[in-house]
Structure 1
Amino acid sequence: MSDYSKLEKCLGYQFKNKDLIVEALTHKSLKKPYNNERLEFLGDAVLNLIVGEYLYLNFPTSNEGELSKIRASLVNETGFTKLANEIRLGDYIYISTAEERNKGRTKASILSDAFEAIMGAIYLESGLEVLKPIILNLLRSTYDKINLDVLFSDYKTALQEITQAQFGSIPEYRIEGSYGPDHKKEFEVSIWIDGVKYGQAKGKSKKLAQQAVAKIAIDKFKEIN
């Protein structure tokens, strides 16, 4: 059994059942009789609830649309990867040799899934009131400020302004495919500007995939200019 004491110290939580933390850290690529997908499913739901409650209580003047945008900026693959890196989760995950070669320990998809699974495991073992301060402490230590302006960057709008100025046209987003079961669907979207493909990205919704690929295109324009 590995030593998880450093990870537990970062979390501010000690697991009673070590099998639970092992399951939460085990990626499906390892082909074990268990993996972290079920705990990840649970963690995703609980994180949505806790972050939603936090925003509701701390942003009394924000409307439903603004609250949804802030939550979407926190509760997503990018956001969970930031939180995973805050506790150095990549050092502890169990992945296959092939994933190890493919730098799986730094992959956003693997890190964010493992983070959701760890949170799901804590919830399962100790409940909402124990998990809540753990998540909120991580958010506060990861983000200097939590508000709409800081967290929500609308890359699609920003890119459209760039392409209209340079080409007199707007970007075209093409759905290249969708993968996974309904509760965990992932979409792959490519972006085309003036007949040229500028990138491709995945996301847990079409909108998130479009935002991700728009950011790739913006970064390319920055390099060119």
Structure 2
Amino acid sequence: MNTTLLEQHLVYRFTDTGLLAKALRHSSYVNEQADPAMEDNERLEFLGDAALSLCIGHLLMARFPELSEGDLSQTRAGLVNAGWLADIGRSMNLGEYVLLGKGEEQTNGRNKDSILANAVEALLGAIYLDGGFDAVMAVVRHKFENDIEALAALDMNRNYKSLLQELTQATDGKAPTYEIIDETGPDHDKTFHCRVSAGDIQAEGSGKNKKTAQQDAAHKALALIKGEPLP
């Protein structure tokens, strides 16, 4: 398998290509092979999850010096989730490179959030072992810093989704619903468009990931409810 384009997306070239190969092997593929020594990517995924959490924590602390530990933890948890990581994987066409078993192939496994998210974490674990912390930090900064900046642009001191939910549940007892209605732009620089329905109010927002699109839609719905100009 030619992984040159994948390495270009990562802006990282592996010294030990065996680590890259392991990061792309899903357990369903390994279970169908005759080689008992072949390893899947789950141990690398475990390591990558820890490395990613540390890198994102470092970036958030540098970008938001005013946030408390609780706010930083909440923000990191909102970023480091399967949906967000899967979107990062799609931006690299990662599904084309993951090795899957026949069952996963037949059930569209190459586009499953869980498989893509786990493969992203496995890649980060492989980069950590191949190049050390500075290498994995450089990749995380390259792939994820735009999402952090998008959150900053939405005023991180206010969680519009939480505010909207509190308001609508107090008035009609129902939580708002969110729907991604469109995705525009190239795979490496997508913009997500979201519609929120809150009682009789509907509003649309956009962002560089699903979370920020939802926050933008909630922000606009709050403005409509309060009779304020749209942000």
TM-score (norm 2): 0.65
Pairwise CA distance, 1:146: 3.1
Letter in 1 for 2:75: I
Label 1:153 to 1:87 Cα distance change in 2 as closer, same or farther (>3 A): farther
Aligned residues: 173
Which residues in structure 2 correspond to 1:3-152 (within 5 Å)? 3-30=2-29, 31=31, 32=33, 33-142=38-147, 145-147=150-152, 149=154
Residues 45, 125 of structure 2: 8 Å contact kept: yes
Distance 1:156 1:51 in 2: 22
Distance 1:153 1:75 in 2: 17
Label 1:163 to 1:94 Cα distance change in 2 as closer, same or farther (>3 A): same
What CA RMSD, in Å, does the superposition of the two structures yield over aligned residues? 2.9
Distance 1:8 1:130 in 2: 13
Pairwise CA distance, 1:132: 0.7
Q: Which stretch has the larger CA shift, 129-138 or 41-50?
A: 129-138
Residues 60, 148 of structure 2: 8 Å contact kept: no
**What do residues 7-61 of structure 1 show as CA deviations (whole Å, max 9, x unaligned)?**
0011111112222111101111111431110000000000011111111122111
Pairwise CA distance, 1:3: 0.3
Letter in 2 for 1:57: A
Label 1:102 to 1:156 Cα distance change in 2 as closer, same or farther (>3 A): farther
Residues 83, 142 of structure 1: 8 Å contact kept: no
Label 1:160 to 1:60 Cα distance change in 2 as closer, same or farther (>3 A): closer
Distance 1:120 1:65 in 2: 26
**What do residues 107-161 of structure 1 show as CA deviations (whole Å, max 9, x unaligned)?**
1000000000000000001100111111111113456523395789676775565
- Structure 2 residue aligned with 1:200: none
Label 1:77 to 1:10 Cα distance change in 2 as closer, same or farther (>3 A): same
Match of 2:56, SS state, is helix
* Structure 2: gaps of 5 or more residues: 176-210, 215-231
TM-score (norm 1): 0.67
Label 1:169 to 1:59 Cα distance change in 2 as closer, same or farther (>3 A): closer
Residues 26, 35 of structure 1: 8 Å contact kept: yes
Distance 2:93 2:146 in 1: 14
Distance 1:5 1:161 in 2: 50
Pairwise CA distance, 1:163: 5.0
Q: Which stretch has the larger CA shift, 62-71 or 38-47?
A: 62-71
* Structure 1: gaps of 5 or more residues: 171-211, 216-225
Label 1:116 to 1:146 Cα distance change in 2 as closer, same or farther (>3 A): same
Residues 66, 148 of structure 1: 8 Å contact kept: no
Distance 1:86 1:19 in 2: 23
Distance 2:163 2:107 in 1: 33
Residues 105, 111 of structure 1: 8 Å contact kept: yes
Which residues in structure 2 correspond to 1:150-161 (within 5 Å)? 158-159=164-165, 161=167
